[in-house]
Amino acid sequence: MRYRVKYTDRSSRDLLGAIRWYEGKRNGLGEEYLNCIEKSLERIQKSPDLYKVITPPIRRCIVRRFPFSIYFSIEDRSIVIHSIFDNRMDPEKLPRDLMP
């Protein structure tokens, strides 16, 4: 079963902010980042249960190539993306509702 992806406002801001930041570093890097995120989301959609539960019902997917994690939950037939967190940041900046 393939799940539909839904973004929270916070995760949309996370994604757009990182795309802008990478694009500012090098033309085209923002698109490369987005491609990596999309590949991770495809893997999540195919097998969301493979990812470790951090704090119920939140799961974490570590993105390849870029230092980010996708925090998500499985709700009905949807994958809800709660945050796309930069792993270089202080873990204390992770939203409280996503902390173990």
pLDDT of residue 65: 96
* Confidence class for position 9, pLDDT limits 50, 70, 90: very high
**pLDDT at position 1 over 80:** no
Mean pLDDT across the stretch 42-68? Answer: 96
What residue segments make up the domains of the chain, in order of their start? 4-89
pTM above 0.85, yes or no: yes
Q: Hey, what CATH topology would domain 4-89 get?
A: YaeB-like fold (3.30.2310)
DSSP 42-70: HHHHH-GGGSPEEETTEEEEEPSSSSEEE
CA dist list (Å): 82 to 25, 37, 42, 43, 59:
26, 14, 16, 17, 10
Task: Give the C-alpha separation, 41 to 61, whole Å.
Answer: 9
pLDDT of residue 84: 97
